Amino acid sequence: MSTVSLPSYVGHAPSLNRTPSYSAEPHDYEQRIALADHLRPRPSGDFIKESKGGGIRLRLTAQEDNVTLPVYGTADHVGGIVELSKTEGITSVEVKIEGRLLIKEIAEGGTAVAKLVLDTAMLWFKDSANPMCPQSLGFSLALPTTFTYEDKTYPLPPTFDVKLSGLPGFIATIDYSVTAVIAKPNGVPIPKVKSKALGIHIGTSILSTPFVYFPRSRPAQPIPLPLQHDSTGFQDTPDWKMFDSTLRSKSKTRPDITAKLYLPTSRIFCMTMTIPFHLTLESSAVSLAAFLPLSPTANTIPTRRVTRVQLMRQTTVDVRNTVMYGVKTDIWRVDCIGEGTFKRAGDGPSHISYTGEITLDEKAIKVPAFKAAGLSVKDCILFTVTPLDVGKAPFSELREVIPVRLTTDSWTPNGAGIGSEHAAALWDSPTPPSPNSPK
């Protein structure tokens, strides 16, 4: 590299005894590029599980205050302390974390179980160098980011529970737990029945608690500004992607209608925020007039609306992973987890335009989509035109499916939401799911 253009520092170098001056906030001639997420405070509370007799306490650290269950995210460490009130006769103390995916088909008789996590740490064992067990033993076990099932690797899935009633049906559960195992051969087994089943010696005491695994995610891009509308319809921009479909006319003298649904190009949305969209219908004035009774603003009762934009979730289980007579043996359920509302944006001689947003059902959705072994969860936006009386309607039915992805958190300017203009709102976090919570 040439050094001809390098400046001379002779006479400009500061004194080695002088430290540079820094300020917490930028000066008028400075600019903040980003503020790292490390300033976000870690939870400082403890979650405590105590045995019935009070002799054993499992204290899990770095938790929010008053949580129902401990919560961990991607690559987190399950850490804490095993506290013992009496240590006489104890020969070993260990802690283990476990994760399990259970899929059971109702009526079909198939069941699949996958081990997601299985890690153990021996905290103490009795020997000549350590004859007396300490009353307090710390531990830290790292959660993996993936698991392997039948030679395939998947991201570690979140805590999840879903059921499809009826025949055939299914039950799918993903759960995690942390357990302290205290071996005391001369003691009374707690619990007596489970000791042998767990492969541990009689006299072993067990203290266990489930925990919630809630991996966090956020979009890489913000929701774009709304499209501008003029006399010809919405004006395209690279931030919005258009999906067109055709509403077929039943009359040869009445042209078909072209439906243009606009969504943000990324199609990645925060599950606690609304999803914006635009819709334009293009055709002749005669066809548009015939469509008006079917328009999204013609009926305010959601269940009787003809034109709808919804967010749908499909949960699929496949216990056997086989194909019979050319058809896969999987079972699925589909739920509406968000409903769109419409406002008239404008019209012209050959178009009608609407703008709207999908409001997500917070009770129906607790985690984003994922795939883990024989269980998969997918999300999509469903655009439909379904006349109440198909036989008498001037147009046929229309159905358009567009895959989308949800995240747990919203986009922030610097990845942390700190120092931005609306920082307080961006700090609001979603509520992690609890075991046995739907979807």
Tens-place pLDDT, residues 84-116: 999 999 999 999 999 999 999 887 667 889 999
| Least confident residue range of 29-43, 244-258, 365-379 | 29-43
Query: In b/e form, how buried is each residue of 292-314, taking b as 16+ CB within 10 angstroms?
Result: eebbbeeeeeeeebbbbbbbbbe
Q: How many residues does the chain have?
A: 439
Question: Higher pLDDT residue, 7 or 328?
Answer: 328
Question: Higher pLDDT residue, 73 or 414?
Answer: 73
The model's confidence at residue 328, banded by pLDDT at 50, 70 and 90, is low
Question: Higher pLDDT residue, 152 or 14?
Answer: 152
The pLDDT value recorded for residue 110 is 77
Segment 117-133 shows an average pLDDT of 95
Q: For residue 219, how far is the Cα from the chain centroid?
A: 12
The pLDDT value recorded for residue 200 is 47
Task: State pTM to two decimals.
Answer: 0.81
The pLDDT value recorded for residue 42 is 78
- Helix/strand/coil (H/E/C) assignment for every residue in the chain: CCCCCCCCCCCCCCCCCCCCCCCCCCCCCCCCCCCCHHHCCCCCEEEEEECCCCCEEEEEEEECCCCCCCEECCCCEEEEEEEECCCCCCCEEEEEEEEEEEEEEECCCCEEEEEEEEEEEEEEECCCCCCCCCCEEEEEEECCCEEEECCEEEECCCCEEEEECCCCEEEEEEEEEEEEEEECCCCCCECHHHHHHCCCCCCCEEEEEEEEECCCCCCCCCCCCCCCEECCEECCCCCEEEEEEEECECCCCCCCEEEEEEEECCCEEECCCCEEEEEEEECCHHHHHHHHHHCCCCCCCHHHCCEEEEEEEEEEECCCCCEECCEECCEEEEEEEEEEEEEEEEEECCEEEEEEEEEECCCCCCCCCEEECCEEEEEEEEEEECCCCCCCCCECCEEEEEEEEEECCCCCCCCCCCCCCCHHHHCCCCCCCCCCCCC
For residue 181, pLDDT beyond 80: yes
Q: Distance (Å, rounded) from C-alpha 419 to C-alpha 416?
A: 9
The model's confidence at residue 434, banded by pLDDT at 50, 70 and 90, is low
Residues of the chain above pLDDT 70, percent: 77
Q: For residue 79, how far is the Cα from the chain centroid?
A: 23
User: Tokens 């959601």 label which residue?
Assistant: 302
Which residues, 6+ apart, have CB-to-CB distance to 214 below 8 Å? 71, 72, 73, 158, 159, 367, 408, 432, 433
User: Are 259 and 279 spatial neighbours (Cβ–Cβ below 8 Å)?
Assistant: yes
For residue 395, pLDDT beyond 80: yes
Q: What average pLDDT does the structure give for the chain?
A: 85
For residue 248, pLDDT beyond 90: yes
Question: Higher pLDDT residue, 17 or 65?
Answer: 65
Instruction: Taking the CA atoms of 310, 163, 434 and 218 in sequence, report the sign of the dihedral they define.
Output: negative
For residue 195, pLDDT beyond 70: no
Segment 390-416 shows an average pLDDT of 90
For residue 124, pLDDT beyond 50: yes
Q: How far is CA 32 from CA 40, 257, 410, in A?
A: 17, 50, 21
The pLDDT value recorded for residue 168 is 81
The pLDDT value recorded for residue 145 is 95
Residue type, 231: S
Residues of the chain above pLDDT 90, percent: 68
Condensed to tens digits (0 to 9), the pLDDT of residues 330-339 reads 889 999 999 9
The pLDDT value recorded for residue 197 is 45
The pLDDT value recorded for residue 425 is 36
Which tokens hold the place of 227?
Answer: 């499209």
For residue 438, pLDDT beyond 50: no
For residue 324, pLDDT beyond 60: no
